Structure 1
């Protein structure tokens, strides 16, 4: 949600858009006894168009961070701004609306409805976003086209490969044109060939300007990101990740 003066105004050029993600001192703890700190107060800024990997072992706090970034949980300390919107000021309904409009999720398990076609699985994601009914089918087909599945719109999940099912899930995440694509171990259920295809898909989405955050324990997956953040014992630290493909 850009701020500032419109382009070409007499007051000068527009201000840059706010970061997609801006965490300031964000932490999450759970009451005891004894109390547990799952995420120590942390700062993190992710700008539009970045491709970021969050790495760390099991129990490091990756799931806690995922839930916070995805507006599935609220921090106990600090502030989280999504597209410049202070999420702490939102009630449950507004948070849910913001999540549906601004965040697309891709999980390790595809979570596709077995008796619905690929097109229908993608189309249903728009119901909760209040997309006008007349636009839903065309938007679903466009999203499937983006992930190279225009020829599989009427296929049931059981007839698709693992990689194709994950690409349907990616299309479902993209259909509402979110600001952020949040991916949790997206290749965890795939063989090496299908994992390679999905990672190539992420490269294409990044090249088109999408903002991706991939949470993974796999260094081979993290290598494809342009930037890497590590979480260990609930503490975030920046890492340098070599760019792949330039």
Structure 2
């Protein structure tokens, strides 16, 4: 990851009047058309209450759902022109997901859980093992490579999940309520890790309902009733 500064390439995320309406009858507009640009190396938080449209936004940004209108460019690639298989491959290469629930296999070690993220990308076994170790060291868990998730704290399990998201060297770290299952101490530790990754040049996008989490971003966007708006600080 390069040091943050002036972007040297296209935005990581660019929405051009992107919206999503679920078919009816009657049609339900879940995400109103909007423009959004997230440049390389930004740390952006998206905040909104339950039912505001955060999940729809996550699904669009994460290439899990296709918008019904507008254009979504990921790293300058027009995702609307891709076939399903190509969209899946792009998502696997360019986006690392971190969820509220850690989604770790309980009978696999931390390193094995991270290695599993590379099974289908063609990396040789020996390379997968070393890259998993490197990712765990990056998140401060180099001393817990062989620990099972049941032997890790909640904060450590989330760090393993972050390592798993980083191991494919994505353009974007997309986090959905990453501190939702953590106590305040572990939540602060995980947010500190995200800030550290951002300082190293990673593009971080955190979706949350918690104002304290949203404040940790360098830039905040609000979403309510499917409407996305930039939060301006006066």
- TM-score clears 0.5: yes
In terms of mean alpha carbon deviation, does 15-24 or 152-161 score higher?
15-24
Contact 1:174-1:181 within 8 A present in 2 as well: yes
Question: What's the counterpart of residue 111 of structure 2?
Answer: 119
Runs of 5+ consecutive residues of structure 2 not aligned to the other structure: 1-6
**TM-score w.r.t. length of structure 2:** 0.95
1:186 is aligned to 2:182? no
For residues 194 and 241 of structure 1, the distance between their equivalents in structure 2, rounded to whole angstroms, comes to: 28
What is the alpha-carbon distance in structure 1 between the residues aligned to residue 97 and residue 215 of structure 2?
20
Structure 1 position 203 matched with structure 2 position 203: no
User: Rg larger in 1 or in 2?
Assistant: 1
2:43 equivalent in structure 1: 51
Q: Residue in 1 aligned with 2:3? A: none
> In the alignment, which residue of structure 2 is the partner of 1:39?
31
List alignment gaps of at least 5 residues for structure 1: 1-14
In the alignment, the residues of structure 2 paired with residue 136 and residue 172 of structure 1 have an alpha-carbon distance, to the nearest angstrom, of 11
After superposition, residues 110-189 of structure 1 pair within 5 angstroms as: 110-189=102-181
* Alignment-derived partner of residue 4 in structure 2: none
1:74-124 Cα shifts (integer Å, max 9, x gaps): 000001000011101111111110000000000000000000000000001
**Equivalent pairs, count:** 228
1:100 to 81, 88, 92: 92
Residue in structure 1 matched with residue 70 of structure 2 by the alignment: 78
Retained in 2: the 8 A contact 1:223–1:241?
no
Q: Which of these residues, 56, 62, 72, is aligned with residue 54 of structure 2?
A: 62
Q: Distance in 1 between matches of 2:28 and 2:121?
A: 35
Contact residue 68 and residue 75 of structure 1 kept, 8 A = yes
Q: Would you identify which runs of 4 or more consecutive aligned residues in structure 1 move more than 4 Å? A: none
Q: 1:241, CA displacement in angstroms?
A: 5.7
Q: For the Cα contact (< 8 Å) 1:225–1:241, is it kept in 2? A: no
Q: Is the 8 A contact 1:117 1:153 kept in 2?
A: yes
Alignment-derived partner of residue 214 in structure 2? 222
Deviations along 1:174-193, whole A, 9 cap, x unmatched? 00000000000000000011
Give the drift of 1:67.
Answer: 0.2
Query: Which whole-Å CA distance do the structure 2 matches of 1:149 and 1:108 have between them?
Result: 19
TM-score normalised according to structure 1 size = 0.91
Q: Residue 33 of structure 1: CA displacement?
A: 2.0
